[in-house]
Structure 1
Amino acid sequence: MSEFAERFEDLRIWQQSRVLANGIYDVMVGCSDYSFRNQIERAATSSMNNIAEGFERRTSRDFGHYLDIAKGSSGEVRSMLYLAEDRKFIEKHLAEQLRGKAEILSSGIAAFRRKL
Structure 2
Amino acid sequence: MRDYKKLDVWLKAHLLTKQVYTEIVPRQSTYSIPLNIVEGCGKNTNKDFAHYLDNALGSAHEVEYTCYLIFDLGYIPKDKYDIINQEINEVKAMLIAFIKFLRNEK
Report the TM-score when normalising by structure 1.
Answer: 0.82
Match of 1:72 in 2: 58
Match of 2:5 in 1: 9
Q: Distance in 2 between matches of 1:101 and 1:56?
A: 26
Structure 1 consecutive aligned stretches of length 4 or more whose deviation exceeds 3 Å:
none
Please, which runs of 5 or more residues in structure 1 have no aligned partner? Answer: 30-36
Secondary structure of the 2:71 match is: helix
Q: CA RMSD in A?
A: 1.3
Shift of 1:58: 2.5
Aligned ranges for residues 1-116 of structure 1 at < 5 Å? 6-29=2-25, 37=26, 41-116=27-102
Please tell me the residue identity of whatever aligns with 2:88.
A
Secondary structure of the 2:42 match is: helix
Secondary structure of the 1:57 match is: coil
Q: Distance in 2 between matches of 1:92 and 1:58?
A: 42
Q: Distance in 1 between matches of 2:11 and 2:74?
A: 28
Q: Distance in 2 between matches of 1:58 and 1:99?
A: 33
Please tell me the residue identity of whatever aligns with 1:87.
L
Q: Distance in 2 between matches of 1:79 and 1:93?
A: 16
Identity across matched positions, percent? 30
Please, which runs of 5 or more residues in structure 2 have no aligned partner? Answer: none
